[in-house]
């Protein structure tokens, strides 16, 4: 089962985001995949690298709380999070060290404009992994995806990919099926 729940504009509230993650926890079977994306503004709230909050329509959502919420997903649930925001990689420090998660993080141009119809980073991500609607065989792992995304990208906006385990970085990007380990 594939279900997409976009939270855009005034629907992008802290309560709605938490509700959908909790609801998803009850829907996913073992081996299921939660894909969460956030394209918007984030702020530093303290001195630690994880003292960051996503700025939703009604509230700031600390990434530490989001990390705890995602950590409560059922055993065997895989999580892929794509973030195009300042301090995008902060969430990686809040997820379990051995969890089955991958974080694709970037701080691309125009990320502070919250209601754009698309993200430049997401457009690049799609063109690298699925050019012309077909999977690119040169992008066979998250490690390779990171290299491809960084090509021609300014250092300040260079994407970073993190995972809970080394095997997570060897997976086929944005796919329910894993590559052999």
pLDDT tens digits for 1-17?
567 888 888 999 999 99
Contacts (Cβ under 8 Å, ≥6 apart) of 114: 12, 39, 40, 41, 55
Burial per residue of 85-117, b for 16 or more beta-carbon CB atoms within 10 angstroms, e otherwise: bbbbbbbbbbbeeebbbbbbbbbbeebeeeeee
In sequence order, the 6+-apart residues with CB closer than 8 A to the CB of 147 are none
Kindly state the tokens that stand for 80: 């892929």
Give pTM, 2 decimals: 0.83
HSE-up of residue 3 (Cα within 13 Å, Cβ side): 12
The rounded distance, in Å, linking the Cα atoms of 135 and 146 is: 16
Residue 12: which region, alpha, beta or left (left: phi > 0; alpha: psi -120 to 50)? beta
Q: Is pLDDT above 80 for 30?
A: no
Mean pLDDT of 101-121: 67
Q: Is the pLDDT of residue 180 over 80?
A: no
Question: What pLDDT was estimated at residue 118?
Answer: 61
- Structure confidence at residue 59 (pLDDT): 94
Which whole number is the average pLDDT over 107-112?
Answer: 57
Between the two ends of the chain, the Cα-to-Cα distance in Å is 25
């Amino acid at each position: 089962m594939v279900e997409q729940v976009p939270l855009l504009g005034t629907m992008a509230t802290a309560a709605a985001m938490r509700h959908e993650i909790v609801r998803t926890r009850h829907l996913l079977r073992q081996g299921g995949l939660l894909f969460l994306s956030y394209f918007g503004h984030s702020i530093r709230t303290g001195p630690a690298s994880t003292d960051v909050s996503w700025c939703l329509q009604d509230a700031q959502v600390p990434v530490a709380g989001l990390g705890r919420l995602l950590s409560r997903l059922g055993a065997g649930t895989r999580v892929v999070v794509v973030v195009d925001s300042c301090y995008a990689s902060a969430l990686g420090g809040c997820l379990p060290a051995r969890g089955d998660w991958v974080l694709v993080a970037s701080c691309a141009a125009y990320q502070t404009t919250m209601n754009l119809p698309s993200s430049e980073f997401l457009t690049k991500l799609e063109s690298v992994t699925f050019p012309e609607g077909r999977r690119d065989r040169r992008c066979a792992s998250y490690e390779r995806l990171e290299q491809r995304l960084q090509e021609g990208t300014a250092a300040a906006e260079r994407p970073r990919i993190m995972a809970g385990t080394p095997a997570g970085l060897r997976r086929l990007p944005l796919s329910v099926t894993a590559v052999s380990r």
